[in-house]
Structure 1
């Protein structure tokens, strides 16, 4: 489907960057870039009627690439760097932040995590109340895969992060749903489309907003996520 902005004053391809973190962006065994947000970024550009390129970069670098104008847009959580040099065009996907442990543990509140050790991906800020609670022992891990491995070896009491990130890595490690306890849902954070201020064109931004709206109405974005989660219930709400 050709979007509102197709061919309207945009003389080059949209340059997308995708965060390097499975399942959002990673390299397959054949070396080709892939991932949930890699696919969704491409889908949005195509729906809006634009050709595009897409490269996978380390998380921190994606913000710099957009702010400096080396890329046009990225799908990710916001931060101070992006606020300075990028426009938050539209929300793309809401991801629940959860705390999960091994079955049968079922954490019902942050208070129950007092004195417990929780794996936190390096640099991650997932929930203000969790971050501010000094009673919770926060253990820095490299990524979600390390969280899940340590959890299964009883070296962590729980892990925190997006439901998609934690559950995707559980799948990759062969961890069945039944091996994990019910999650504590803390909040929802949103992957947003951030567009470089220096490169911004109102027609392009409107085309991207409308493309996301159409994809949401067709459940096309959720379908991409479901493909990676293989039946794990990722779209959670707090109790």
Structure 2
């Protein structure tokens, strides 16, 4: 024998209907913050201290500390994914990742990356060689020499487009420096701050050549396929506010 349900009092039933209607509107409302609709912002990149680091306590480094400060101000949730640079760029192109920090600007990359207005600290690229190597003074001095570069990186200053140069791609910069020590290449080219730290920690005994490639602006970029692209302007405002209130400079000072 079935049991009939007692009808709700008119006032209570009306309140419940209004509550359900409001909840339904909230669930699909286009005015919800995009972060709630898109999920965490997926940040992808290689481990390149002191710019990007991954460890037991999470992601850190100059670039990631800047991003985390901005995200905290906006209430965004970040997920950091460590992969080699070439793989990171592919993930940005296919929409598997949302944001990347550090790429130089190239026409090829602009097809799938939105560069916006957030430029990161400029860093010269320098060459490390064995002691006693013939000094480098220009791009012409690199001709005939084997140069280790990191796969997926760009260096600017005409270096990337000079077809006369012998570039040997490696997976990371530590491997590039070790190749110089073993005599497999004549020089390795690295961002200066990063190269100096690696050299100091490794004790490999290489020297830094005085000639360098002038730094070009690295950018914070958002994948054109990412749903977060619609909030790029909001992120730019947060970074601008950090510059104005001194937070940007305080974070930079940690990595001097």
2:78 corresponds, among 53, 58, 83, to 53
Question: Which residue in the other structure is 2:125 paired with?
Answer: 97
Query: Using the alignment, how far apart are the partners of 2:169 and 2:140 within structure 1?
Result: 20
* 1:183 aligned counterpart, secondary structure: strand
Matched, 1:62 2:62: no
Q: Is the 8 A contact 1:14 1:45 kept in 2?
A: no
* 1:119 aligned counterpart, secondary structure: strand
Q: Is the 8 A contact 1:42 1:52 kept in 2?
A: no
Q: CA deviation at 1:206?
A: 2.6
Query: Using the alignment, how far apart are the partners of 1:141 and 1:196 within structure 2?
Result: 25
Which runs of no fewer than 5 residues in structure 2 stay unpaired?
1-30
Question: Which residue in the other structure is 1:237 paired with?
Answer: none
Q: How does 1:110-129 map to 2 (within 5 A)?
A: 110-127=139-156, 129=158
Matched, 1:211 2:254: no
Q: CA deviation at 1:25?
A: 3.2
Query: Using the alignment, how far apart are the partners of 2:203 and 2:216 within structure 1?
Result: 27
1:42 corresponds, among 68, 74, 78, to 68
Q: Is the 8 A contact 1:95 1:162 kept in 2?
A: yes
* 2:140 aligned counterpart, secondary structure: helix
Q: CA deviation at 1:170?
A: 1.7
Range with greater deviation from structure 2 (218-227 or 17-26): 218-227
Q: Is the 8 A contact 1:101 1:183 kept in 2?
A: no
Total equivalences in the alignment: 218
Q: Is the 8 A contact 1:141 1:147 kept in 2?
A: yes
TM-score calculated relative to the size of structure 2? 0.67
Computing the radius of gyration over CA atoms, which structure comes out larger, 1 or 2? 2
2:43 corresponds, among 7, 14, 17, to 17
* 1:118 aligned counterpart, secondary structure: strand
Q: Is the 8 A contact 1:97 1:187 kept in 2?
A: yes
Q: CA deviation at 1:14?
A: 5.1
Matched, 1:75 2:76: no
Q: CA deviation at 1:163?
A: 1.9
Could you say if the C-alpha distance between residues 20 and 187 of structure 1 is closer, same or farther in structure 2, counting changes exceeding 3 Å? same
2:172 corresponds, among 139, 143, 157, to 143
* 2:120 aligned counterpart, secondary structure: strand
* 2:154 aligned counterpart, secondary structure: coil
Query: Using the alignment, how far apart are the partners of 1:215 and 1:129 within structure 2?
Result: 33
Could you say if the C-alpha distance between residues 130 and 45 of structure 1 is closer, same or farther in structure 2, counting changes exceeding 3 Å? same
Matched, 1:163 2:192: yes
Query: Using the alignment, how far apart are the partners of 1:201 and 1:140 within structure 2?
Result: 31
Which runs of no fewer than 5 residues in structure 1 stay unpaired?
1-6, 232-239
Query: Using the alignment, how far apart are the partners of 2:75 and 2:220 within structure 1?
Result: 15
TM-score calculated relative to the size of structure 1? 0.71
- RMSD over aligned CA atoms reads 3.4
Could you say if the C-alpha distance between residues 217 and 116 of structure 1 is closer, same or farther in structure 2, counting changes exceeding 3 Å? farther
Query: Using the alignment, how far apart are the partners of 1:31 and 1:43 within structure 2?
Result: 16
Query: Using the alignment, how far apart are the partners of 1:146 and 1:83 within structure 2?
Result: 29
